[in-house]
Amino acid sequence: MDEAQVREHAEEHGKSVERGDLAAVTSDFIPELHPQVPEIAKSLPNVPITAEVLSVRAADDHAIVQIRYAGADRAVTIETRWEDHDGRPMIVAE
C-alpha cells in the first residue's frame, strides 16, 4: 500500500467526520461494514470537533491508521485497517 495515498484518504475521512457527512464517512468502509458504521460512530465524541491522523503504518497489502477524534466531551483514538478495494484505500476493519 502507498502510505501517502492512505494518509490522504484517512485525512479526508477525518474531515468527513468533522463535517458530519455520514454518506462520505460510510463510503470509506467496504460495503460489508456499512451496517456497522452507526455502531462504530457511537464510540466517537458526541460532537467531533477535530480529527487528526496520528499515524499510518503501511505494509504490502494493508495499512494501519490511527485517527484521534476530539470533541467537547472527550477524545478517542481509533485504529483501522485499510486495504486497496476498487483502486482506492478503504477501511476493512476497525
Average pLDDT value for the chain: 94
Report the side by side order of strands in the sheet with 88-93: 48-58, 63-71, 75-85, 88-93
**Grid coordinates in use for 77?**
483514538
**pLDDT on residue 80:** 97
The neighbour count for residue 65, using CB atoms within 10 Å, is 26
- Total residue count of the chain as it appears in this document: 94
The CATH number of domain 3-93, selected from 3.40.50.970, 3.10.450.50, 3.30.70.20, 3.40.50.1450: 3.10.450.50
pLDDT at 94: 82
pLDDT at 52: 98
Average pLDDT over residues 73-83: 96
List, for residues 7-51, the tens digit of each pLDDT value. Answer: 999 999 999 999 999 999 999 999 999 999 999 888 999 876 899
Task: Give the per-residue pLDDT at 16.
Answer: 96
pLDDT at 21: 93
Q: What residue segments make up the domains of the chain, in order of their start?
A: 3-93
Query: 47 in helix, strand or coil?
Result: coil
Tell me, yes or no, if the pTM score tops 0.85. yes
